[in-house]
Homo-oligomer: A and B are copies of this chain.
Amino acid sequence: MPAVDVAGEFETIRRLFAPLAHPEWGRGLLDDVGVVPSRPGLDLVLTKDAIVEGVHFLPTDPLDTVARKLMRVNLSDMAAKGAEPFGYLLACHWSKRCGWPERMTFCDGLRADQKTFGVALVGGDTVVTPGPASFSMTLLGWTPKGRTVSRSGASAGDLVFVTGAIGDGWLGLQGAQGKLRLEPERVAALVDQYRTPEPRLEFAMPIRDMATASIDVSDGLIADLGHLADASRVRIEIDLEVVPRSAAGQAWFDGRVDEQAALENLVTGGDDYEIVFTASPKDEVALRREAERRHLRLTRIGKVVGGSGIVARFAGQPVDFRRPGFTHG
């Protein structure tokens, strides 16, 4: 079959990826495999996300932000599970438009985020595709044995908390598509947030110590809380009015006539990469202290009760969502 790699598989590995490899575990990317020593007393945590041009990112998104988003989306899973990331494997399915300059840009993004988050490349593959570009990353982390936080530990009486603000991912997507009427600097901030969300790794340890169940907000707050309620076999009740908004999100919200419709967009849009979790009321003070210490916003948005499903109230009335979250497919 045709060998159409304009930039060359081996050259791409040697010149672009090898400098990103873990000095020991990556074996210089010359050995088909990465090798990571076991750490007695720790569990290996693995997560894998795939993204496709035109589906999960825009053809106009710069490739360094695509690389960083891919990494951050995976890091966000680690944070929500209370894990400490250390390395990753990467598969790049380059499209025809991905020549040397584009691949270098992609790797610039990886390099920047490797430094920010303390992870290194341990292996992967690089191929070409006649279709749109796509990428997948397997991220590796550690947790103390048996301590990985699940979706299934919530019980009646727990409280529901969320980090940061909800809705900026969706607003940023609107901004990147030129659909947002706000001051340019606000739009730019939202687009940045959409392209390079902040994984809440700084809160992974409090999550591990105190969360009874946890998930990162990727599909949308309502959908992800639904996953958590299903896995825990509980009912989750939240108030839409208290779901935290960013300054930019508030500015957008203030311009809406239909407040309920606006809130529905924010809580179902997804791509937020905040952590929503449940915890016992006895831990609320400690959680708030840990959040403050990290200058991280933490908001109590609801509670866990017996039953099933998710109930979101606006002005005291349950809201019936047409679609609880965004499905990329």
Contacts and interface: CB of A to CB of B under 8 A. Distances in A.
A78 interface: yes
A40 B54 CA distance: 44
Contacts of A143: 35
Contacts of A326: 3
A8 B9 CA distance: 33
A329 B7 CA distance: 8
Nearest to A223: B10
Interface stretch (A45-53, A243-251, A303-311): A45-53
A302 to B, nearest CB: 21
Contacts of A77: 32-33
Interface in A286-329: 326-329
A104 interface: no
Contacts of A128: 52, 55, 328-329
A38 B35 contact: no
Contacts of A44: 35-38, 44
B5 A327 contact: yes
Contact of A1 (B39, B49, B328): B328
A254 interface: no
Interface residues of A, number: 77
A14 B125 CA distance: 28
Given A46-B123, A216-B32, A37 B145 contact: yes
A75 to B, nearest CB: 12
A81 B32 CA distance: 9
Given A1-B56, A9-B329, A93-B93, A231 B47 contact: no
Copy number of this protein in the oligomer? 2
Nearest to A5: B329
A184 interface: no
B328 A3 contact: yes
Given A131-B131, A327-B5, A35 B30 contact: no
A130 interface: yes
A136 interface: yes
Nearest to A148: B35
Contacts of A138: 46, 48, 89, 138
A42 interface: yes
A141 to B, nearest CB: 8
A93 B134 contact: yes
B32 A215 contact: yes
Contacts of A52: 93, 127-131
A68 interface: no
A124 interface: yes
A136 B125 contact: yes
B127 A130 contact: no
A31 interface: yes
A81 B33 contact: yes
Interface of A: 1-5, 8-10, 27, 30-52, 54-56, 58, 77-78, 80-81, 83, 89-93, 95, 122-132, 134, 136, 138, 140, 143, 145, 148, 150-152, 173, 215-216, 227, 231, 326-329
